[in-house]
Amino acid sequence: MDRLIVKGGARLKGTVQVKGAKNSVLPIMAATLLGEGQSVIQGSPDVRDVHTLLKVLDALGVRGGRDADGTVRLEVQDAGPTLAHYDLVRQMRASICVLGPLLARRHRARVSLPGGCVIGVRPIDLHRKGLKALGAPTTIEDGYVVGDAPRLHGASVFLGGPFGSTVLGTANTMMAATLADGVTIIEGAACEPEVADLAAFLNKMGARVEGAGSPLVRIRGVERLRGATHRVIPDRIEAATFMVAAAMTRGDVTVEGVCTEHLGAVIDILRSAGAEVTTSDSACRVVGPEKLAPVDVTTLPYPGVPTDVQAQLMAMLCLADGISVVTEKIYPDRFMHVAELQRMGADLRKEGPAVIVNGGAKLSGATVMASDLRAGACLVLAGLVAKGETRVRRIYHLDRGYERIEERLNALGAEITRDDDGEEARDKPKDGEE
């Protein structure tokens, strides 16, 4: 199994291009189930989740692939299959986003339940609520969510939950509503830019979606959708990861190809921590301070601080001169990185859904384990500033969402190598990865 060996001490300098957003391209790929003819999706990152979804879609009769330049071409060639098997869904919980399109276009679906994972429980009650409102009630049978929906109709539905709205639940409901009879109103919709990007793609397919990116989305159903060409938005989480790395290493890094307006909360935290951030519409330059200041961070739905950057920010705050409180409001259990950071010498105390970071402790290299994608990024960043060598194991998590991160950090001056730690047989997860 691959691991990364990170040598600490480098100050990152230079320019890095951000890739297309993983969390945009996945639901957009699923949306191709709704249309006739080929779709061309440009700017997809070369990450494992994209390849996993290609397999899920292939099993559903959607044929195509990803070119080396990041273009994904997909076309429905067999509209018969309706099963998304556990063996594939367990590898990537985002596979659930085929549920809405299957019910809308094939009127039947049997999709494995994603189950929980290291970042906490991953319920789909709000997905089911949205689809039920449209006339597609589902049941749970043998670990699968199963639905039959001869005809979908427009409806009003509120999708807010105890932790805010749901990104993929909004995506599923929105996709299903594009082919329903009449008008659907989603209130309490997720406002993440990836939802707006999906709506932009659906509209290019011929859908009539208004208001995506706001809490109120209105969809007028149409008879049919056709394939479309679309370039996905830049990955704001990847961009934020590089920006935090620059701030931590007293670096000077320009992240190019971003959509700066998606990064407001992260830029605000970095500036509060003492980094100098200068921006244009499509680039952010981050110059790290000699000494970082502590900052309290609370993750929230967009436009708040993304939960997907919480772990990376915690690594940064370990270096700050004083106490920071990191509170997780989306996934209250998303703290598996805490124990690993402690192994590197961080002074952290977990109190319910918050972690008190007593900054300033010197981090030192250790062998640590990536438990999920963002925890993996956090540990690589911690390794960049730790004394000595940090060996980050189970980086298949990292490869799910970051394209060749070590090569791109090395181009900025980091010293990271990848090798096989020879532990495959003992450590290979039996069932389910994050």
Binding residues vs ligand EPU (CB under 6 A): 23, 26, 94, 122-127, 161, 163-164, 166-169, 190, 194, 307-308, 330-331, 373-374, 401
Q: What is the C-alpha separation between 198 and 230, in angstroms, rounded?
A: 10
Residue tagged active-site, from 97, 117, 191, 378? 117
Q: What is the C-alpha separation between 274 and 387, in angstroms, rounded?
A: 22
Q: How far is the CB of 34 from ligand EPU (least distance, A)?
A: 18
Q: How far is the CB of 81 from ligand EPU (least distance, A)?
A: 22
Q: What is the C-alpha separation between 266 and 282, in angstroms, rounded?
A: 15
C-beta of 66 vs 374, nearer to ligand EPU: 374
Q: How far is the CB of 223 from ligand EPU (least distance, A)?
A: 29
Strands (E), 315-413: 323-327, 348-351, 354-358, 367-369, 389-393
Question: Which helix (H) or strand (E) is 198 found in, with range?
Answer: helix 193-204
Q: How far is the CB of 427 from ligand EPU (least distance, A)?
A: 21
**Identity of the amino acid at 113:** L
Q: What is the C-alpha separation between 378 and 326, in angstroms, rounded?
A: 14
Q: How far is the CB of 25 from ligand EPU (least distance, A)?
A: 9
**Identity of the amino acid at 395:** I
C-beta of 92 vs 253, nearer to ligand EPU: 92
Q: What is the C-alpha separation between 229 and 331, in angstroms, rounded?
A: 34
Q: What is the C-alpha separation between 36 and 109, in angstroms, rounded?
A: 19
Q: Would you state the torsion angle of the CA atoms of residues 407, 408, 412, 413, taken in this order, to the nearest 10 degrees?
A: -20
Catalytic residue flag (residue 117): yes
C-beta of 147 vs 365, nearer to ligand EPU: 147
Catalytic residues: 117
